[in-house]
Structure formats: C-alpha cells, structure tokens
A and B are shown apart, each in its own frame.
Chain A
C-alpha cells in the first residue's frame, strides 16, 4: 500500500519533469529558428529552409549571412549561456551559497586583464584564424583560476571560504592592474570596453572551434560527477560520512566549472547574471537534484542568452548593444527580489 502511494508520487514527479523538459527543448529549438530569421538583412523562411535542406537555390550572400554570421553566433550564444548556467549551478552547490556566480573567483577579471595586456602590448598573434583577443582572454582566465587554486590550497584540501576569499583578492588586484593599463593607454579602448560589457558581436566558427574542446571536457566531467554533487549538498562532513571523497570531488568539480567559465568568458566577455540567476529559476522549477537540474539550467541559460543576444543586435540596429547590458538589466531586478525574499526556500 505504502509502496504504491510512494511510486505514485515518483510517477507524478516524473510526468511533470518530462513535461518540463519537452517544453524547454521545443522552446529552445523554436528560438534557434526565430533567431535565424531576425537580423538587419531580411531573409525569408523559404531561403532558410532551403539553406537547411542544403539546396543551391540560395544566393551566396544569403548563405554567408546564415552560415557564417547568424548560425555560429546563435550556437555560440547557446554554448555561452549554457556554460555560464552550468558553471553557476556547480559553484552554488559546492560553495553552498545561492549568491555565488562563476565570476566570483576572478575569472572575468583575469580574462579582462589578458585582453588589456594584448591591446597594450599591441600583440596581434593569430591562433587558429582568430584575433588574439579571445586567446589572451582565455590565457588570462586560466592563469587566474590556477593562481586562486594554488593560493587557496592547504595541503591537499581546498577550504571553500579560503577559495572564495583568494578569488576576491585576486580579482581586486587584477581589476586595479587593468585600470592601470587603461590609464596608460587611453586610445583605442572601445574594444576593451565592449569586451568588459560582454558581447557576442563578431562571433564566428573560429571561436566555437577554440573553446569547444575545453567546453566539452568540462561538461563531461561535470556530468560524470552529478550524483556526487547531490551528496555534497548535504554538507562536506555528511558527504564524507556517506563515503564521498570530498576534497577530490570538490577540486575536480571546481576545476571543471572554472575551466568552463574561462572558455566561455574568453569569447563573450563578462556577461553577467546568467550564472547567478538561471540556476535559481531552474531549481525552483525542477528541484535541487543535479541530475535533473544541470540539463535544465543549461537549456534555460542557452535560451536566455539567445533571446538577449538577438535583442541586443536588433533593438537598436544597426548599432549593437553589448548583450551584458541586457542580461544585467533583466537579472539585476531578479537578484534584488531574491535579496528581499531571503528565506529558507531560496534554494
């Protein structure tokens, strides 16, 4: 009898979850199609469908707009949004604090310093057909993660509080370094300003190729450890008593989430609030179990950034807004709402 009612609860839950996922997936697919239509040049549904079918009836310029401009940008928005949301979920779970985002340990400051350094030194190395900016951003981000890790590590342990504080300290140092470089070199800073505000303008297949290996590696690691992430939510001590190797799991997961953030930040600049807000919305809908939460957060983050980016490139066309402005505009009020309603149910 009890067994029966128990299974009923779980079956009811399952039905709800399937519904949530079906909706989220169809919504995302729909968004991708919509985003393909929208832009400064008018491209009709017929052209797009024939492009997708691979027919030659599309003009060369249309093919270039769809295939080389819009499609990579849409895919990149998808990756960046998903990456930030997944990394945010992991950070929030390990640090067990809902007010944490993936930039908290100074990754964006590190990437920004990398960009500034490249501009300042006038280095124009091209790696994989790329302008040097994303490459420098990536190196800056990874160097920051590595430094913070080393600073916070006590023996083979990584105390979360030390990790956070080391991140905050490093980020302050890097921010002042960046400001100092900006003072020294005042001309031609528009690129940096755009980068700092977060933008996907000019994204191409090269960006995707550059970050894809890191993105997929980090994602695979996080997926592998999803169950452990749930156990970690019980608190480090309880998790250890359940047989989890807490320190190792924490170091691996923080590393993966940091790598993922570094990868997406290098191509998008610091797009704020997705990593903070999206995990919350997903958690409210599907609960705290990471095996269900992470995929949904990824879909939500991707859709959210795609909508914001499409808006950013169209609402003031031909001027492009940095998408970071829009995400912050939407995310800021929600963050305030969270602060005002700080209750136990925040998770």
Chain B
C-alpha cells in the first residue's frame, strides 16, 4: 500500500506547554482516519502540524514521500486541502465564487477562468450537492450547507488528501450525518485520503475506518473502532465511566456516558442497603429513583444484555451477572447470597420466572429473618413459565415467611421502603 502521509516523531509546544510529545504515524492512501482525544490532547495541533499551519519543533512530516517543507505553498495546495475549524466567511461572496477560489493554486494571476476550472467546479458542486446553491450568498446558507460549500472548495483543489478539523462541531445532528456521509462517499468513490479531527466519538466510530486516540500529545491507541473504543481506554484517556454498546445497524461500537451519580450518592448516601431481584426490564423504571434517594443498592442475578442489566450498569450498581439463555450457575448464586446477606431489605420485582432464573426465587427461603417486599401487582400464575413450579414456590414462601410485604401498587414502593427503613 502506498503511504500518503507520514509523521516522524513530531513534537510541538505552545510557549512552554508541550502539546505533541512525539507522534509517529503512517497513513495509507485511501484511508479514512478519525483523530479523537479529550480537549488539549493535541488533536487539532497534530492536524495543523500535518498541514503546515504549524511547524513541528522537531521531527518531520512527509506527504507522498516528500518532506512537507519542500513543497511550495502552491504545490501543497494542489495535493492537500484543509477544512479548518472556523469556516465563517465574513464577506458576502456567492457560493460559485467561493468554490471557484479553490482553483486558485491552478490559476495564473491575470488569466480568467479556464474551461477546466469551470468543469471541475461543476463536478465538485454535483458531488457535494451544492449546484442549487450556486447563486446564493454564503451568509444566507444554513450551517450544513455552508460546510458543504467549504468542502466543495477544498475538493476544487483536486487534492489527494483532505484534512478536516471538527467538521461537524457546530452542526445539528441531521447535518452531522450528512457531512460524514459525504466524506464517506468521497473516500469510497474517489479513494480520497481523509483525516478528520473530532470530539464526537460515536460519529467517528461509525464512519472512520481507523481511529487514533490521543492522550497528552501521544498516541494512546490506534486501530479499528472496536479496538480503540474500549471502556478501559476511555477511562484511561477521558477519565470517564462509559458503557460501550454495539450500534445495531452498523455493528460499530457506541459509547454511552455513565452518569456520575456516584458523586451525588456519596454526599447523601443512606446507611440502608437494598438488594433487588429483577429482570426483563421490571426494575429499570424505579432503579434510578432509589439510587437518587441514596439507598445502597445491589442487584442480581441478572442476564447480561437484559434491560435491567443495562440500567444497573449505567447507574453503576453492584451487580451479579450471568450469561443469557442458560441457567444461573452455582457460583453466581453464591455471589448473589453474599450481596443479600449484607442487605437490610430485599425487593422482588414482578419478574417472569423460567428455568434460568428460578434460583433467584428459591434463594429467598434462606433468609426468613430479612424483610422483603414482593411485587404482587401481576399475578404469579401469569408470570410462571414453568408449569406452576414458580407458583408453588411463591405460595410456599408466602406461607412460611413472616417478613414479607406484598406490594399491590407499584407506585407505593418508595413510601413502603421508607416505612420499613424507620
């Protein structure tokens, strides 16, 4: 494969602050790279060093096997186009004139527009869907339209490589997708090498072939999105708790931020421990409320991927988890017991029972002295998928256990807990 752009140990500082601390990169022709990283990680600075807006303190940048410094500014403009972060044009040029300015590196000072100029500008306007805007003034356009015009101008330079700095940061979500769709098309159709800087992890993960994760001026991770966007990497680089899911359509990783409830919780945490037995999304609606009230929650055993599992994970609740579609194993039951033993109260939601999770119900026999709230709003017969087996256990439990409180109305859960708490 042909190497389009290469950086060799580049370092850069603003005043005394080191921004890039040695970046080594080889970018193949035709690739679509997303540079991500937290604020001040050096991602925009790296892009500017690649495009000669800034000159590295040490190290070198090679474009198409030639030192970037050896290009004249006009030669460089024919090979590399850049869409900077601030693309505001103060002056009211019309769209056609703005795009035609992309032909500047090819025009002589006094020559008019050549047939080739006109042909190329028409082509890039078709590709970027800006033909219908041609007579409009640049300041009349929406943010998304303007960005397409600026990209069209960059394409009119007929570059081999296109660099973009936060191309969608000021756009609404519908335009964000539109711009990345366009970039993707340019990459696939014309084999244009594209490097984009973004702080939108999900957008870059969806579209870019490879991601480059920067931390404090160094490359922390590089590779396909699945390898770069891991919970550990994000924790290490952004110091944020996230949950990585998979986008059901594109099968690419999708990052969700876990709310920082832990911090709030600590300030008003109560000394009252509740263990929850749930599943199938029967607890997700009130988990957050209990968490917010400051109860120390634990939950289990939940199947991985279950709706309650996701909710608990996002809230950071102590949890015993089990792989889906098989019976809960002895180890998991044991772990669940450890949590139950510490609890002051057990809540059993109106979950359905099958072979897999029957153990979750049976475990309650071992704790007759612990207080329990059992949801009874939904008849056990209808929740029993194992031919009355669960119903039998349920009835036996109600007979033997003196510490059970049946809850007919879900809405009364919190007032009930408060009564038991005192």
- A residues near B, CB below 8 A? 2-3, 6, 9-10, 96, 224, 227, 230-231, 233-235, 237-238, 240-245, 287-289, 344-345, 347
A184 → chain B closest CB, angstroms:
45
- Chain B residues with Cβ below 8 Å from A242 are 77, 101-102, 104-105, 157
Indicate the member of A227, A231, A234 with the most B CB atoms within 10 Å: A234
Given A2-B122, A238-B84, A241-B81, A289-B53 contact (CB < 8 Å): no
A243 lies within 8 A of B93 (CB): no
Indicate the member of A240, A241, A289 with the most B CB atoms within 10 Å: A241
Separation of A172 and B53 alpha carbons in the complex (Å)? 35
A243 lies within 8 A of B90 (CB): no
A243 lies within 8 A of B105 (CB): yes
A243 lies within 8 A of B78 (CB): yes
- Chain B residues with Cβ below 8 Å from A289 are 93, 97
- Chain B residues with Cβ below 8 Å from A227 are 104, 107, 109
- Chain B residues with Cβ below 8 Å from A288 are 91-93
The reply to whether the CB of B309 lies closer than 8 angstroms to some CB of chain A is no
A96 lies within 8 A of B101 (CB): no
B76 lies within 8 A of A243 (CB): yes
Closest 9 CB pairs of A and B: A243-B77, A243-B105, A288-B91, A243-B74, A241-B82, A347-B91, A233-B91, A242-B104, A237-B84
A245 lies within 8 A of B73 (CB): yes
A285 → chain B closest CB, angstroms:
12
B166 → chain A closest CB, angstroms:
13
The reply to whether the CB of B51 lies closer than 8 angstroms to some CB of chain A is yes
Separation of A253 and B80 alpha carbons in the complex (Å)? 27
Separation of A255 and B97 alpha carbons in the complex (Å)? 27
B175 → chain A closest CB, angstroms:
19
Separation of A245 and B76 alpha carbons in the complex (Å)? 12
- The A-contacting residues of B in range 69-95, CB under 8 angstroms, are 73-78, 80-82, 84, 86-94
A-B contact pairs, 14 of them (CB 8 A): A10-B96, A224-B109, A227-B104, A233-B89, A233-B93, A235-B89, A242-B101, A242-B104, A243-B76, A243-B78, A244-B104, A289-B93, A289-B97, A347-B90
Given A231-B104, A235-B84, A287-B134 contact (CB < 8 Å): no
* A contacts with B: majority SS: helix
Cross-chain contact of B53 among A2, A96, A240 (Cβ < 8 A): A240
- In the complex formed, the residue of A with least CB distance to B100 is A230
A241 lies within 8 A of B104 (CB): no
B73 lies within 8 A of A238 (CB): no
* B contacts with A: majority SS: mixed
A3 lies within 8 A of B122 (CB): yes
- Chain B residues with Cβ below 8 Å from A244 are 73, 104
The reply to whether the CB of B131 lies closer than 8 angstroms to some CB of chain A is yes
Given A3-B122, A288-B92, A288-B93, A234-B101 contact (CB < 8 Å): yes
- In the complex formed, the residue of B with least CB distance to A343 is B139
B135 lies within 8 A of A9 (CB): yes
A237 → chain B closest CB, angstroms:
5
A62 → chain B closest CB, angstroms:
45
A246 → chain B closest CB, angstroms:
9
- The A-contacting residues of B in range 264-295, CB under 8 angstroms, are none
In which size bucket is the chain B interface?
A: 35 or more
A96 lies within 8 A of B90 (CB): yes
Indicate the member of B80, B89, B102, B154 with the most A CB atoms within 10 Å: B89
Extra 6 A-B pairs, beta carbons < 8 Å, given A242-B102, A288-B92: A230-B101, A233-B93, A240-B53, A242-B101, A242-B157, A243-B105
Given A230-B101, A242-B102, A242-B105, A345-B81 contact (CB < 8 Å): no
A240 lies within 8 A of B73 (CB): yes
- Chain B residues with Cβ below 8 Å from A240 are 52-53, 73
B88 → chain A closest CB, angstroms:
8
- Chain A residues with Cβ below 8 Å from B105 are 242-243
- Chain A residues with Cβ below 8 Å from B80 are 241
Separation of A233 and B138 alpha carbons in the complex (Å)? 13
B192 → chain A closest CB, angstroms:
16
B51 → chain A closest CB, angstroms:
7
- Chain B residues with Cβ below 8 Å from A6 are 96, 122, 134
B104 lies within 8 A of A287 (CB): no
Separation of A244 and B76 alpha carbons in the complex (Å)? 10
- Chain B residues with Cβ below 8 Å from A96 are 90
B77 lies within 8 A of A241 (CB): yes
- Chain A residues with Cβ below 8 Å from B97 are 289
- In the complex formed, the residue of B with least CB distance to A243 is B77
B355 → chain A closest CB, angstroms:
65
Separation of A287 and B95 alpha carbons in the complex (Å)? 13
- Chain B residues with Cβ below 8 Å from A347 are 90-92
Separation of A234 and B92 alpha carbons in the complex (Å)? 11
A4 → chain B closest CB, angstroms:
12
- In the complex formed, the residue of A with least CB distance to B102 is A242
B125 → chain A closest CB, angstroms:
9
Separation of A173 and B4 alpha carbons in the complex (Å)? 54
- Chain B residues with Cβ below 8 Å from A230 are 93, 101
- Chain A residues with Cβ below 8 Å from B81 are 241
Separation of A230 and B105 alpha carbons in the complex (Å)? 14
Separation of A235 and B157 alpha carbons in the complex (Å)? 17
B73 lies within 8 A of A243 (CB): yes
- Chain A residues with Cβ below 8 Å from B98 are 234
Separation of A2 and B134 alpha carbons in the complex (Å)? 10
A31 → chain B closest CB, angstroms:
29
Separation of A299 and B94 alpha carbons in the complex (Å)? 24
- Chain A residues with Cβ below 8 Å from B104 are 227, 231, 242-244
- Chain B residues with Cβ below 8 Å from A243 are 73-78, 104-105
B99 → chain A closest CB, angstroms:
12
- Chain A residues with Cβ below 8 Å from B92 are 287-288, 345, 347
A265 → chain B closest CB, angstroms:
27
A325 → chain B closest CB, angstroms:
32
B165 → chain A closest CB, angstroms:
10
- Chain A residues with Cβ below 8 Å from B109 are 224, 227
Separation of A344 and B78 alpha carbons in the complex (Å)? 32
Separation of A289 and B93 alpha carbons in the complex (Å)? 7
- Chain B residues with Cβ below 8 Å from A10 are 96
A284 → chain B closest CB, angstroms:
10
- In the complex formed, the residue of B with least CB distance to A347 is B91
Separation of A238 and B94 alpha carbons in the complex (Å)? 17
- In the complex formed, the residue of A with least CB distance to B159 is A241
- Chain A residues with Cβ below 8 Å from B86 are 235, 237
Separation of A231 and B93 alpha carbons in the complex (Å)? 11
B90 lies within 8 A of A233 (CB): yes
Separation of A6 and B131 alpha carbons in the complex (Å)? 9
Given A234-B101, A241-B81, A243-B104, A2-B131 contact (CB < 8 Å): yes
Indicate the member of A2, A231, A242 with the most B CB atoms within 10 Å: A242
